């Protein structure tokens, strides 16, 4: 009995010493001290011993039980500490390493300019309208007082889609669509894409315009002048001179082309160091807008009485404004999606 107790002690202590996980320690505990554990069975067998041996053996069994319990407990502590250390080592994160920087996109320069134009006109009470890119002959030409033999209808300018359908050559058809469906007073701007058969450093087959018009009982040319002068000085410079020149459009009468003083040479026609200014070609002025008082013929097409309403309309090219504002000399840069170009517009 005492011999087997000694060998049980040695065996168990050795196994505890070598155990490496909580599960293993628990397994040893059950095997020795569990309900059917080896030591438990020995304790139960005490009652079969002669009564004079019982106290001595009992004492030794209890001593062994206590020893195993403390050793198991100690070993558990050590194993837990080792596991924690291992986890800390393996799951180490160096928070001082540089992170992965996410790519952030940019607003396209044309969108920036359109948004700025919209902002300025919103400030004057204009609302925004849109129309279809694929138009019919009536809205793009006919109702705008552009007769059948007008050169603007030439195959060379207009992209025809199918009979009677074409890609709008300007945003002016949205004047017609708006007036057809609504009554004055109207104060509207129309940003959008337009299409013309044209392709070089300053012309693109698809480009953008912002149309604007104001119709009410008593709109005068002075209203047109005030609105557009305010717009141009907000868009470019408070100090920039604005000039109105007589012009012609079939859908406005009288018509004007509107210039601002050159943003590069500030209007003296000479660029830096007394050299000829290439942007305004030495004139000191830049043409920016077409405009005029809406032709009475147009009002008749939409069912307005030209004796009772009047209005002005204007149209501008967004790419041209963006090129002047940012000093860009080739319109194709806007559409090539070259990130080296696009990244410059925060």
Rounded to whole angstroms, the Cα distance separating 53 from 66 reads 20
| Residue 267 near residue 285 (C-beta atoms within 8 A) | yes
Q: Does 29 bind ligand PHE (CB under 6 A)?
A: no
Rounded to whole angstroms, the Cα distance separating 127 from 123 reads 10
**What minimum distance in Å lies between the beta carbon of 335 and ligand PHE?**
19
Binding mask 190-229 for ligand PHE (x = CB under 6 A): ---------------------x------------------
Rounded to whole angstroms, the Cα distance separating 274 from 42 reads 114
Residues of this chain, 256-295, that bind ligand PHE according to CB under 6 A: 290-292
Q: Residue 252 forms beta bridges with which residues?
A: 249, 294
Q: Considering only residues 191, 192, 311, 315, which one is a binding residue for ligand PHE as defined by CB under 6 A?
A: 315
Q: Is the dihedral of CA 337, 201, 193, 327 positive or negative?
A: positive
Total residues in contact with ligand PHE, by rule CB under 6 A: 11
- For ligand PHE, the closer CB: 27 or 247: 247
Is residue 158 packed enough to be buried (19+ CB in 10 Å), middle (13-18) or exposed (0-12)?
A: buried
**What minimum distance in Å lies between the beta carbon of 315 and ligand PHE?**
3
Rounded to whole angstroms, the Cα distance separating 247 from 66 reads 111
**Binding segment for ligand PHE among 200-208, 222-230, 232-240, 310-318 (CB under 6 A)?**
310-318
SS3 236: coil
Cβ-closest position to ligand PHE: 315
- For ligand PHE, the closer CB: 192 or 290: 290
SS3 4: helix
Q: Considering only residues 170, 177, 208, 320, which one is a binding residue for ligand PHE as defined by CB under 6 A?
A: 170
**What minimum distance in Å lies between the beta carbon of 299 and ligand PHE?**
14
| Residue 259 near residue 288 (C-beta atoms within 8 A) | yes
Q: Considering only residues 190, 224, 286, 313, which one is a binding residue for ligand PHE as defined by CB under 6 A?
A: 313
- For ligand PHE, the closer CB: 131 or 292: 292
Distances (CA, A) of 322 to 71, 110, 190, 205, 207: 82, 7, 17, 17, 12
* Contacting positions for ligand PHE (CB under 6 A): 170, 172, 211, 249, 252, 290-292, 313-315
């Amino acid at each position: 009995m005492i011999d087997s107790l000694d060998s049980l002690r040695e065996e168990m202590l050795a196994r505890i010493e070598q155990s490496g996980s909580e599960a293993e320690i628990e397994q040893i505990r059950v095997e020795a001290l569990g309900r059917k554990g080896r030591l438990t069975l020995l304790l139960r067998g005490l009652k079969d011993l002669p009564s004079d041996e019982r106290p001595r053996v009992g004492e030794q069994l209890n001593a062994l039980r206590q020893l195993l319990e403390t050793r198991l407990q100690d070993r558990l502590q050590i194993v837990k500490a080792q596991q924690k250390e291992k986890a800390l080592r393996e799951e180490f994160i160096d928070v001082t390493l540089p992170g992965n920087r996410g790519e952030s996109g940019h607003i396209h320069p044309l969108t920036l300019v359109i948004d700025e134009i919209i902002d300025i006109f919103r400030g004057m009470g204009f609302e925004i309208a849109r129309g279809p890119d694929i138009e019919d002959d009536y809205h793009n030409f006919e109702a705008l007082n552009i007769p059948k033999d007008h050169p603007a209808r030439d195959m060379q300018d207009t992209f025809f889609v199918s009979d009677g359908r074409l890609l709008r050559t300007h945003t002016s058809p949205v004047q017609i669509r708006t007036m057809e469906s609504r009554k004055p007073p109207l104060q509207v701007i129309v940003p959008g894409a337009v299409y013309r058969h044209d392709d070089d450093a300053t012309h693109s087959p698809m480009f953008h315009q912002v149309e604007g018009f104001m119709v009410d009982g008593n709109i005068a040319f002075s209203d047109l002048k005030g609105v557009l002068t305010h717009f141009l000085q907000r868009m470019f410079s408070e100090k920039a001179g604005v000039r109105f020149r007589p012009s012609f459009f079939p859908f406005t009468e009288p018509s004007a082309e509107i210039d601002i003083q050159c943003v590069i040479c500030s209007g003296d026609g000479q660029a830096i160091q007394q050299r000829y200014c290439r942007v305004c070609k030495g004139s000191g002025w830049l043409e920016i807008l077409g405009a005029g008082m809406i032709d009475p013929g147009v009002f008749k097409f939409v069912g307005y009485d030209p004796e009772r309403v009047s209005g002005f309309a204007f149209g501008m090219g967004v790419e041209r404004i963006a090129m002047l504002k940012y000093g860009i000399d080739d319109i194709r840069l806007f559409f090539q999606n070259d990130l080296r170009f696009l990244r410059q517009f925060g």
